Structure 1
């Protein structure tokens, strides 16, 4: 039986740019025990390479997402047209899951304004996705400081988004690490939105109690040096080394009927900077996620 555990493979993780390097990574991933790969972009060539390596596609990234939430109506309309074309091309290649973080073009855009633009542009997008059998999975990464402008990070906003656009094509990429850093109960969230979860990212988040004492959860540190993939009071880690209850997550996903990929998003400062470090982080994470294999 193939592993359900995959990897979100980006240039930053793979440290690879050329097609030959990607092919080498695909074969390494298969040999290491992985079954899926999330790619930023897909082509006929890399889909063939995935298949030849014995791997399956997890998700692909939507293009021009910030322009979908642009204050410029012309940019919004053009981004919608381009995404509709991209979804058609992806469907022809056999892709079924489109990943996106709804970060607006202008980071200072209020969430209420972004929500209005979302309601304007997404009916056409979800209609195309439904027709093609593609799930649009939204990740709740809050976005860059200081505005944290991403749409769809909290239960309050997701309830409003699903009420406004109830299309079954509009789904969630469940990444509990972002919920932990925001102080949102990641298990309650999973239970509430179980029917909307169509993809899972495996990343953990450790809350650093001493740092929380020193500068709280909201303000950035002024004098302290923070680790990579951290803002001070928290840091992202590989699964099993933070606050995520992975056995409970596994149980709840199983109860919800989720049988799709669980893809490691490697954002841990201890496993960065070299191919060897990245591969060690991925294999250590895979060992922690044995319940999904």
Structure 2
């Protein structure tokens, strides 16, 4: 049975971990994905009958110096990540979430991949020795360069060939694949044995906006939050993703991890009440298939 959890949106996060954990348990969540993990957070989760899901790696959100062209900058970032891996392992954490966006957004994905290929084998070896797994997020990064590596099948194939360790894999988030025009079910089939975590987030394609600006970011700004024009992120069940089919295939492939709701939907944002409503609605849809 796949457990359902959530990443922490800002208003819920402002409650503090104790109040957040109590609320999460009260609505039937099993897991919390956390931006950091220490003994205090571990204790709070356990006291409330919850488990830790993924843990943000250093530089996981935003940009990372792990892909910096400067050797010293890159080594410092790698050492910090390995130290974090050791600490997380000591607390029995298992999955580190990472989004590989270079701190120079103009750096090409090919250049970033070449740097990654030199830097990451040693990091993944350290993770393997500590029984920790890295889950690479598929957000393509900010416009106009979309510099993230690890967001398309082309890149996944090259990265997973370079590092065959099962301690390095994909955070499967179909919302990014839908907005990029990638077949999210075909990707699930091809990379099923390297999916190490899942996000519960959806994307709706906006036909009128698609006519107006095509797949380019809207010239004068998107009409909605969490959008660039022709698409917008939504909670599960209100976009293009067939979650019943996703759940069926994950089960067939033997996936034993969690699915963490990532709330990025303008209708459920901006207030504590809105975030709570969005998490509850997302959970209700996912548990139709994952419980």
Please classify the TM superposition score into its range, dividing by the shorter chain length.
Answer: over 0.9
TM-score normalised according to structure 1 size: 0.95
Match of 2:5 in 1: 6
Equivalent pairs counted in the alignment come to 287
Who is 2:200 aligned against?
202
Given the alignment of the two structures, is residue 99 of structure 1 paired with residue 94 of structure 2, yes or no? no
**Are 1:25 and 2:33 counterparts?**
no
Matches within 5 A, 1:9-88: 9-10=8-9, 12-16=10-14, 21-64=16-59, 66-88=64-86
Equivalent residues in 2 for 1:111-122, closer than 5 Å: 111-122=109-120
1:275 is matched with which residue? 272
C-alpha separation between the residues in 1 aligned to 2:108 and 2:93? 33
TM-score by length of 2: 0.96
CA deviation string 1:109-149 (max 9, x = no partner): 00110000101110110101111111100010000111000
The DSSP-based 3-state class of the residue aligned with 2:111 is helix
Q: C-alpha separation between the residues in 2 aligned to 1:224 and 1:149?
A: 20
1:254 aligns with 2:220: no
Selected match of 2:178 from 177, 180, 184: 180
Deviations 1:174-217 (A, max 9, x none): 00000000000000000000000010000000000110001100
Asked whether the 8 Å contact 1:15–1:274 carries over to 2, the reply is no
> What is the distance in 2 between the residues matched to 1:189 and 1:97?
21
**How far apart in 2 are the matches of 1:210 and 1:227?**
13
8 Å Cα contact 1:202-1:239 kept in structure 2 = yes
**Secondary structure of the equivalent of 1:289?**
helix
1:7 Cα deviation after fit: 0.4
Cα separation, 1, equivalents of 2:283 and 2:147: 32
> Any idea what SS the aligned residue of 1:7 has?
strand
The change in CA–CA distance for 1:5 and 1:46 in structure 2 (over 3 A counts) is same
Q: CA deviation at 1:222?
A: 2.5
Contact 1:173 1:198 in 2 (8 A): yes
Distance 2:54 2:220 in 1: 39
Q: Is the 8 A contact 1:13 1:266 kept in 2?
A: no
For 1:208-251, what per-residue CA distance to the aligned partner results, in whole angstroms no more than 9, with x for missing partners? 01100011002x22346521111110000000000001010001
Give the C-alpha shift of residue 72 in structure 1: 1.0
Gaps of 5+ in 2: none
Which deviates more, 153-162 or 63-72?
Answer: 63-72
Structure 1 runs not aligned, ≥5 long:
none
